[in-house]
Amino acid sequence: MGSGDGAQKQENTGTAAGKKDDVSEAEKQNSVDNPTEADTDEDAEQTVVDADETEDGDDFEEDGDGSEGIPLGNIFGIPVGQIDLGALMGQGHKRRKKKKKVKKELFKLSEIPAPHAIKAQLDEYVIGQEQAKKVIAVAVYNHYKRVFSKTSPDAGKYGTDIDIEKSNILMIGPTGSGKTYLVKTLAKLLDVPLAIADATSLTEAGYIGDDIESVLTKLLAAAGGDVQKAEMGIVFIDEIDKIAKKKSTNTRDVSGESVQQELLKLLEGADVEVPVGTGQKNAMTPMEMINTDNILFICGGAFPDLENIIKERLTNTTSIGFGSDPKDKYDKDPDILSKVTNQDLREFGMIPEFLGRLPVTVTLQGLTKEFLVRILKEPKNAILKQYKKLLAMDEVNLNFDDDALEWIAEQALKKDTGARALRAIIEEFMLDIMFEIPKDPEIGSVTITRAYLEKHGGPRIEMREYSTADKKAAALPGPTEACYKAE
């Protein structure tokens, strides 16, 4: 009977425990169905917090799948209640949607420099190319007026029914004529971000090479990650002639006509998603949306053989007879590129749609010996001025004979790379000068002569002249020597 009583007691205990569980579950259900005042206050407080979180401008939208949380009961003895598996996987009911950014006005109409002011500043750095600087100054001025008309709240007083089209620029000129330098100087003077890309590295999406969007990644980096500033910048695509349509090929032209086609949306204006910090898209790379509508695109190239296409067209259109022009008339025309037409460029291999999005054409002349000599001396940051400054830090005056400057220009012409050859030539013969001069503190000035450059003479060196006071000061013992004598 004792054991029976024990069993009865245990059964009663179990029954009581079961009842307690039932009561506990009933209380839980009752608290859910009929929340207490405290619970209601807590829920209300949570609702206020949620409302505050949504007041920061972010919108929320339902996923629309209507999924409910899955009751899992107790996991490892821990009461969990209801758990949303989607939330655990980073895919909750509500998806945060970024609010549209409100653009701020970056500049006023009065702050846009007039064409004559732009050209005057370019004149300080770029020698020659007068017509090119004039055309670029007007195109840039009109471009940023267009940007103002699309972004400024004050633009409405000038009319809202007229949409100004983009004025992207196509620059045509021989290698070394100053295309890249002109664009760099322009961006620096305007204080806008600049991205420079090489068209030869661009390929159609999905092929080995840089995607078209990579040029915008560079622009965003140049703007310090500021999307709005990048959207007001300049993109210069060099070697654009290298993506001309191939004359005849049996394979897909992934680096020619296809690249021209993919550039169309950037040139005209589009929202483009670009990777930040790298040109490659992948799941781990943060992305930014950039609108290219207000970005100024400048495409440049040497366009070899374009001169022959122009000459052939001009020769074929010349009348036949005694009054006709000789066939070699255009062979000696130094400004033949200025006569280029879209017809010539289409024959070269540029597609009509691409040319249509580059309405402003700028041609640059090849540099003569006289131009190269001026480039050595006259610009604000001329290369000779840079070397003079370097030697001035050693308290040495550096000079160049006129004959020496002509020799440098002649060597640059032989290299057929224009102004970019000047620095390489000067670096070569200045090496010994920069190495030897600091050895002798008595040297006061050095003059570079043609004889020295032609390696049958040396530079003219003048020793430093000291005044009587300088000589007495030089004779005094130095601090270390005086210190030893005092001891």
Least confident of 306-310, 363-367, 462-466: 462-466
pTM: 0.70
Residue 335, pLDDT score: 84
Q: What band does 118 get if pLDDT is binned at 50, 70 and 90?
A: very high
- Domains with residue ranges and CATH for the chain: 22-97 (no CATH), 109-363 (3.40.50.300), 369-475 (1.10.8.60)
Q: Are 425 and 387 in contact (CB under 8 A)?
A: no
Q: Quick check: 207 pLDDT over 60?
A: no
Q: Where are the beta strands (DSSP E) in 242-389?
A: 271-275, 287-291, 296-301, 360-363
pLDDT for res 254: 56
Asked whether the predicted pLDDT for residue 46 surpasses 80, the reply is no
Cα separation, 182 vs 139, in Å, equals 14
Among 239, 125, 180, 177, CA closest to 413 = 177
Residue 224: pLDDT over 70: yes
pLDDT tens string 65-74: 444 444 444 4
- d(CA 247, CA 202) in angstroms, rounded, equals 19
Show the beta-strand stretches assigned E in 168-241.
169-172, 194-198, 234-238
Q: Provide the pLDDT for residue 150.
A: 81
pLDDT recorded at residue 316: 83
Averaged confidence pLDDT in the chain = 77
Band (pLDDT 50/70/90 cuts) for residue 325 is low
**Cα–Cα distance measured from residue 324 to residue 333, given in angstroms and rounded to the nearest whole number:** 17
